[in-house]
Structure 1
Amino acid sequence: MLPLERLQAAQRLIADTLAPTPLLLDHTLSDRLGRRVWLKAELFQRTGSFKARGGLHWVRTASQEELAGGLGAVSAGNHALGLAWAAGQAGVPVTIVMPENASRFKVDGSRELGAEVILHGDINAAWERMHELVAERGLTLVHPYDDERIIAGQGTVGLEILEQAPEATAILCPVGGGGLIAGIGSAIAALRPELAVIGVEPTGAASMAEAWSQGRPARLAGVETCAKSLGAAIVGEYTYPMCRETVRALVQVDEAAIGRAMYHLFYQAKLMAEPGAAVGIAALLDGAVTLPPAGDVVVVITGGNMSREELEPFL
C-alpha cells in the first residue's frame, strides 16, 4: 500500500484547487438498513468525478521532461475529463483514446477542455492504439489507474472520509481498474485498519475479482456493462496487490441492480449519478454485501457525468 505520508503530501498539493466533497446522509437507505448511510459525493468534484484529484496530482508532480511532448491516456471518460482539465491548468496538450462506445457527453466534454480525443474500437483496442501513439508522437502515458501518483491523488478521498465519518465501520467503493480503492484502502489501512473497505464491481466487468481468483492481473476477454466508467478489462500491477492487501471483500452487482440503484439515487437521494457510481448503492439495496454489525456506512458516489439520453433508461 502507499505510505500515509505520500497520501498526505498529495492532499496538501491539490488542496488549493480541489476542495473536499460533502458527505450526504441518505435518509431513505438509512431508514431501510437501520443505520446511517452516508454518500461521499465525488460527483460534485471538479470535472464531475474523483478523477480530477489524480489528474491534478500527477501533473503537479510531473517533470518538465514528462510534460514536454504532451500527455496520452486511455479512458472511458472520467479520466479523460480529469486529466484534460488538470493538464489545461499547466498548458500541456493531451491526447485521449476512448472506446467507440464511450459516452458522447464525456467525449464532448474532454474536447471542450482542450484534449484531442480519438475513438477507437473497444477498451482493449483503445489501449493498443494509445501505445502506438506513444511511440509515434513521444507522448508520456498517464495511466488511468495503475500509477502511484494517480493512486495517491485518489487516496485523498479516503483521508476526507476518515475526517468526515468518524463512526464509519464500512466503506463501499466502486471498482474499475482499482486506482480509487487502492488509494482509499491505503489511507484506511494506515489510520483505521479495523474499518472494512469493500469493493463493488459490475458482473460484466469484474476485473478485480478475476485478478483475485487468478492471483495476478488477468485481462477479461470482453467487457459488457452499463457502468462504463468501471469497464477496465484488466486491473493494474500496482492496484491489484494494494487492493488484495487492504480490501476486506469484493462483491458484484448485475445490470438490473445497477438500474434500481440509479433510480434510488435520482428519486430518493436527489443525485444524478452515473451507473458506475451507483454500484455501492446496488450492493446495499440487493443485500449483496455483508456489513459489520453496527456503525455508519459510507458509499462512494464516484461521478455524475452523463447526458440526458444516457440517463433516460434509468428513470
Structure 2
Amino acid sequence: MEVSAVQHARERIAEALAPTPLILDQTLSERLGRCVWLKAESFQHTGSFKARGSLNWLRTARDAELVGGLGAVSAGNHALGLAWAARQRSVPVTIVMPENASPFKVEGSRALGAEVILHGDINAAWTLMHEMVEERGLTLVHPYDDERIIAGQGTLGLEVIEQAPDAQAILCPVGGGGLIGGIGVATSALRPSLSLIGVEPSGAASMAHAWAQGGPARLSEVQSCAKSLAAAIVGEHTYPLSRRHVAELVDVDEDAIHRAMRHLLYQTKLVAEPGAAVGVAALLESATTLPPQGDVVVIVTGANLGREELAEFL
C-alpha cells in the first residue's frame, strides 16, 4: 500500500471526521523526562478510531457491494463505526459479536440500526459470519484486513505527523493490525525516523504469534480484558505491513492493563477502554525500548465501555 491511499482516504472523510486532540500526560512526561502525548481517539465519532476506516470503505464502495447489505465480525468498535457509516447511505448491516462482547457496544450498535447476533467466541463468530455471507449474500467488511479499512485508519498517522513534530516514537495498540499497518504506511513515507511500536495484550498476542510463525497463524484461544484487541489471527494484508513498518512488538499482562486504566482515569482524567490503555501500560512497565530522545505519542484508541465494565478498574 502506498501513502497516497491514506492521503486520499483523508480527503474523503475529512469533512465528517475532525482530527482528534493530543493530550499531554504530565505524570508520564515527568517520569520519562520527555513529553508523552496521548492521541485521544476516544473523542472520535462512535468513540473510537474505527469510524475512519468504515467511512472510507463506505465512500469507496460500489453499488454492487451494498445491494445485499453488509456483514462483519466485531468485538464492538468496528460494529459501531460500520453501523454509523452505513446509516449515512441507508445500507443494512449485520454484525456477529462474541457472546462476551461489551453490552455497551452491543446496545450502541443496535441503536445505530445494526442487526447484532451474539455467538460463541471470536472464532465461532467468524464461522457463523462466513455462513451468513453465503446464505444472505452479504458483503463482508473485514474489521482490519481490508486495504480500504487500513487506509482509513492510517489517516490517524497523518494527524500525528502534523500534531507532534518532535515525536520520535508512536506506541500503538495491536489487535488484528489494521491501525498500526495504516499508521506505518503514513509514517514510513513521511517521517521515516519515527519508531513505530506495537503493543498487544499477553493473552491475545496474535501479531507476535504471526511474527514467530512467519505469517498469520490462528491462536487457539484469546483471553484478555482488552476485548477490542482480541483478534485470534492477524490479516494477510496487515502482517506484511507490520513486518515492513513496525520497529518493535511488546506485550503487557492483565495487571499492567489494570494499572494503566487507573492511571488514565485518575492521573490524566481520560476515560479509555482496556484495549486503548495498552500503550500507556507499556510505558508504565518500561516494557519497550524508546529512542534516546524526542516526544512519545501513545494512541488511545477508544472509550466504549459501560458503567459496569468501568467499575472493574476503579
- TM-score if structure 2 supplies the norm length? 1.00
Question: After TM superposition, where is structure 1 displaced by more than 2 Å over at least 4 residues in a row?
Answer: none
Answer yes or no: is 1:283 the counterpart of 2:275: no
Match of residue 229 from structure 1: 228
What is the CA–CA distance in structure 1 between the aligned matches of 2:247 and 2:95, rounded to whole Å? 34
- Give the AA of the match of 1:280: G
* RMSD of equivalent CA atoms: 0.4
What is the CA–CA distance in structure 1 between the aligned matches of 2:309 and 2:72, rounded to whole Å? 24
Match of residue 304 from structure 1: 303
Q: What is the CA deviation profile of residues 101-138 of structure 1, one whole-angstrom value per residue up to 9, with x for unaligned ones?
A: 00000000000000000000000000000000000000
Structure 1 unpaired stretches of 5+: none
Match of residue 206 from structure 2: 207
- Give the AA of the match of 1:140: T
Per the TM alignment, residue 4 of structure 1 is displaced from its structure 2 partner at its CA by 1.2
Q: What is the CA deviation profile of residues 196-225 of structure 1, one whole-angstrom value per residue up to 9, with x for unaligned ones?
A: 000000000000000000000000000000
- TM-score if structure 1 supplies the norm length? 0.99
Report the 3-state secondary structure (helix = DSSP H, G, I; strand = E; otherwise coil) of the residue aligned with 1:201: strand
Match of residue 93 from structure 1: 92
Structure 2 unpaired stretches of 5+: none
- Give the AA of the match of 1:46: H
What is the CA–CA distance in structure 1 between the aligned matches of 2:32 and 2:160, rounded to whole Å? 20
Per the TM alignment, residue 313 of structure 1 is displaced from its structure 2 partner at its CA by 1.2
Per the TM alignment, residue 194 of structure 1 is displaced from its structure 2 partner at its CA by 1.2
Per the TM alignment, residue 31 of structure 1 is displaced from its structure 2 partner at its CA by 0.5
What is the CA–CA distance in structure 1 between the aligned matches of 2:189 and 2:248, rounded to whole Å? 18
What is the CA–CA distance in structure 2 between the aligned matches of 1:221 and 1:193, rounded to whole Å? 35
Per the TM alignment, residue 177 of structure 1 is displaced from its structure 2 partner at its CA by 0.1
Match of residue 171 from structure 1: 170
Match of residue 77 from structure 2: 78
Aligned pairs (5 A) from 1:217-256: 217-256=216-255
What is the CA–CA distance in structure 2 between the aligned matches of 1:224 and 1:239, rounded to whole Å? 21
- Give the AA of the match of 1:36: C
Report the 3-state secondary structure (helix = DSSP H, G, I; strand = E; otherwise coil) of the residue aligned with 1:90: coil
Q: What is the CA deviation profile of residues 155-210 of structure 1, one whole-angstrom value per residue up to 9, with x for unaligned ones?
A: 00000000000000000000000000000011011011111000000000000000
What is the CA–CA distance in structure 2 between the aligned matches of 1:6 and 1:277, rounded to whole Å? 25
**Equivalenced residues, count:** 314
Match of residue 265 from structure 1: 264
Answer yes or no: is 1:67 the counterpart of 2:66: yes
Match of residue 130 from structure 1: 129
Aligned pairs (5 A) from 1:147-186: 147-186=146-185
